[in-house]
Each structure stands twice: as structure tokens, then as C-alpha cells.
Amino acid sequence: MSAPELSAGHSGLMDSVYRHQRHIYDLTRKYYLLGRDRMISELAPPTGGTVLELGCGTGRNLILAARRFPNAHFYGLDISAEMLATARASIARAGLSDRISLAQADATSFDAAALFGRAGFDRVFISYALSMIPGWERSVSAALAASVGSVHIVDFGQQERLPAWFRNLLRGWLARFHVTPRETLAAEIAAQARAAGKSTSFTSLCRGYAWLVVVGGIKA
């Protein structure tokens, strides 16, 4: 199957999964998508800077980031038209349509210049999306290519310091939503960062429940 066919298939899958869930997504996910707010608080884009989110979903993170950093402009892309419909409505209600731009695209392969009129962003971030993306390694590559500053990623860890029963219960629950914690997440990001000549910092959150990775230094 070709890359465009895979992309179209995943888009349809995500639309079917979130067609109804998108209306309650933020309410239900806030209890277990840990580390998102910390990641957002550490973005610190420069005044007049640009921030791109890959897999922006309902727009929750973009709205929070835009409110926290009022002197930056934000961009988001997602493969699901259903999620983007919710994101656009939420962003409009928040009065942030002039500072947040959205587009439908595959996070593993996209043309930022064609989508948003710019090829590079001061900050790029990915929040709990890599665990849902087939070929997620290509999304890491795309994030690094789109960044002229730092890349921030938070996602499920391996729950390495949590009880086995909890880990098994969590994995079973996540599988119902086509979510798979990536065992090689940190190593893959670090390897790609080294190849690009960039530094990496890694933080394990909540006993390994989540992993937070930052590539590149932050320049104010």
C-alpha cells in the first residue's frame, strides 16, 4: 500500500473513532493525558514567534498555548476532518481565530509552506499523537525538519516504575482507541536529533507514565 493510501486509510479511521468522541474528548482525556500543560508552559516562543502543533486534535493545546503566549502565532494540523471541525469551533469561541491557523494534513508528510505559507517554526510540538500514528518515526523527522528552534514531545511512556497490573490495564484501555505507547520513542527521537546535530533532553513523568522530550535549545 502506498503512502497516500495509508494516509487516506488512517484519516478515515481517525474520523470514525472521533466522529462522536470529539464532543467529549477534552473532558475525558484531561485525567490521563498527563504532562501536556507542563510541555506547553515550557514552549516559551520568542515575541512574534511561530508555533506548530502536529496532531492538534480538538485545538485544546493550541488554545491554551495561545492564551499563555499572547505575542506568538500558532498553527495546527491534523489528519481528521472531524477533529478539525471541533478545533475550528473551539478556537472561534475562544476568539483566537486570528492567531491560530489550522489545516488538514498527515503529520508524517506535509508541506508547511503550502499549508501555512511558511516552512519553519520557532517551536514545534506533538502531544500524545505519536502513539496513534502509523509510521510515527516519520512524524519525528517532519517535526525536526519544520523546526528552526526546538521540538517538544509528550506521550505515553512505558510505565516502567508503575505496577504491572496498572500497565496492563492501561494498555488494554488504550488499545480500544488505537493507541500504542512507543517503546523506542525516546531512543528514536534522540537518534534523529543526533543525526541533525541537535541536543535532546528527556524527562520521565509520574513514574514513567509519560515521557517528555525536548530537542534543541530554547532561544528567547
Rounded to whole angstroms, how far apart are CA atoms 34 and 39? 10
**pLDDT at residue number 4:** 55
* Full-model pTM: 0.85
**pLDDT at residue number 33:** 80
Give the chain's mean pLDDT: 88
Query: Quick check: 170 pLDDT over 70?
Result: yes
**pLDDT at residue number 114:** 97
**pLDDT at residue number 177:** 86
Rounded to whole angstroms, how far apart are CA atoms 220 and 186? 25
Report residue 90's pLDDT band, with 50, 70 and 90 as the boundaries.
very high
**pLDDT at residue number 210:** 96
124: alpha, beta or left? (left if phi > 0; alpha if psi -120 to 50): beta
Rounded to whole angstroms, how far apart are CA atoms 103 and 1? 25
Q: How far is CA 176 from the centre of its chain?
A: 20
Q: Are 178 and 156 in contact (CB under 8 A)?
A: no
Name the 3-class secondary structure at 120.
coil
